[in-house]
Homo-oligomer: A and B are copies of this chain.
Amino acid sequence: MSTPSSSRNSWKVSASIVSKRTSNPIRAIVDHIKVKPNVNKSMISLALGDPTLFGNFKIHQTCTDAVAKQLHSYKSNGYPPSTGYLSARKAVADKFTLPEAPLTAQDVIITSGCSGALDMCIGVLCNEGDNILLPRPGFSLYQTLADSKGVEVRYYDLLPENNWEMDLKQLETLIDERTATVVMNNPSNPCGSVFRKQHLLDFLEVCDRHHLPVIADEIYCDLVFSGNEFFPLASLTKTVPVLSVGGLAKKYLVPGWRVGWIFIHDRQDIFAKEVREGLNSLSQLILGSNSLVQSSLEDILHNTDSSFYDDTRVQLEANAKLSTEILSKVPGLKVIVPQGAMYVMISINIAEFKDIDNDIIFTEKLLGEESVMCLPGSVFQCPNFIRIVFTSPPEVLKEAYERMAEFCARHHK
C-alpha cells in the first residue's frame, strides 16, 4: 500500500508514484552535462531527431495546402471521434494496406503522434508487474512509458557487428510467463539500421513459438538507403499479432503536428476479443489528435508527389555517406554504417584515448571544446557509443566532423 500523496494536518502535497517513476533518460543524462559550449566556436547540435531544424529538409506543399484547405473549410474544427475521423482512418488504411497485410479503417487508430500510439499499445498489452522486451540500444521513450506504467523492462541486445540485428538467442532467454510483448523498431533510432527479411522471419519465428505479440515501431518505414529494403513486419507473418505504429513526423517532416497511428494486424483474430476494445477505451482518455491535420491525411498521404519521398531519401543518404566517409577516417572512432532513418551510431574506442573514460565524458568534452553536441550512447543504454543525427546541411556536418576529428586527435593517446 502506498502512502497518501497528501497529508491532512499540514500542506504537504507529494507527486504521485507514477509521475516519479516517469523520467526521460535523455534528460536525466543531458541535464547533468554542466559543461558550456566553447564561446569561440559556433554551436552545432547533432543531437535532436527533428529534421525541421535547419531548413534543408522542406515539407511538401501538399501538406501545407491540405491543412490550409481544412482550415478554410471551417468544417474540421469540431471533436473527431476518439479513434479518429473515419475518413482519416480510411486514408491511412488505403495508403498502408498490403495484400499480405490488409488494412481497413477498422484496423487503424489515429493517435497523438507515434508517441501516443506507443503509449496506447504498451498500455493495452501490459499490466503493472508484467515485463516487456525492449531493444538496446533503443528509443528512450519505450522505457519511459514502461517505467511509468510499472512494467519491468528487459533489454534484448542489438549487435553492432551484425548491422545491429537483434540477438535473438539472448532475446529468447528473457521471455517468461509475465512477458507481455516485445517492441521492435525498424528502421532503427538510434542505429540507422534496416533489418533483412530473413532476420525478421527469424524474429517472428521466436515470437510465434512463445506466443508473444509484437509492437512494431515502423515510423521510419521507407526511409531506407539504396541496397536496403524495408519490410513491414506484419507482411511477413500469418500468425503473430502485430500492433504496428507510425506517423507523419519523420516521413513528412512535421513532428510538431502530432499525428500518428496504430495498425492492428491480427490475421488470427487474437486481438479481436479484448485488445481492440481496450485500445478503443484508452483512446477516450484525452481525445488526442488535431482535427485539422487528421482531416488533411487523405490529401497528405495520397497526393504528395512521389518525388518528395525520393528527395528526402536522396538527401538523407548523401548525408549518411558523408558522415560515414569522414568519420571512418578518424582514429579512435568506428562508424557502424547506417542503412536508413536519420541516425548513425559511432563506437568510441575508449582505450585509444588518454583522458576520455566513457561516452558521457566524450560528449561533455566535445561540447566544451568544439561546441558540437551529440547524444552519448548511454541514453540509449549503449555506453561508449555516440549517436549523430545527420539531418543538418552537408556543410554544417562537415564542419562538425572536422572539429570532431581535431578533438579526437587531441585526446588520442
Contact = CB atoms under 8 A, between A and B. Distances in A.
Given A16-B125, A79-B255, A180 B6 contact: yes
Interface stretch (A141-149, A161-169, A222-230, A354-362): A141-149
B126 A16 contact: yes
Interface stretch (A69-77, A186-194, A317-325, A369-377): A69-77
Contacts of A20: 274, 278, 281
A211 B285 contact: no
A12 B270 CA distance: 7
Copies of this chain, complex-wide, total: 2
- What is the predominant secondary structure among interface residues of chain A facing chain B? loop
B123 A19 contact: yes
Contacts of A22: 281-282, 284-285
A159 interface: no
A324 to B, nearest CB: 26
- Most B CB within 10 A of own CB, among A9, A77, A288, A291: A77
- Most B CB within 10 A of own CB, among A72, A78, A274: A78
Nearest to A274: B15
Given A13-B241, A177-B7, A279-B19, A286 B115 contact: yes
B124 A271 contact: no
Interface residues of A, number: 99
Interface stretch (A46-54, A299-307, A326-334, A380-388): A46-54
Contacts of A8: 175-177, 179, 210-211
A389 to B, nearest CB: 12
A396 interface: no
A59 B80 CA distance: 17
A256 B286 contact: no
A255 B67 CA distance: 16
Given A256-B80, A292-B257, A13 B286 contact: no
Contacts of A212: 6
A405 B96 CA distance: 51
Contacts of A268: 11
Interface stretch (A37-45, A99-107, A127-135, A335-343): A127-135
B290 A290 contact: yes
Given A4-B127, A290-B293, 8 more contacts: A4-B130, A6-B181, A11-B270, A15-B275, A27-B284, A79-B255, A115-B285, A258-B289
7 contacts: A5-B126, A5-B180, A9-B211, A10-B211, A257-B291, A258-B288, A290-B292
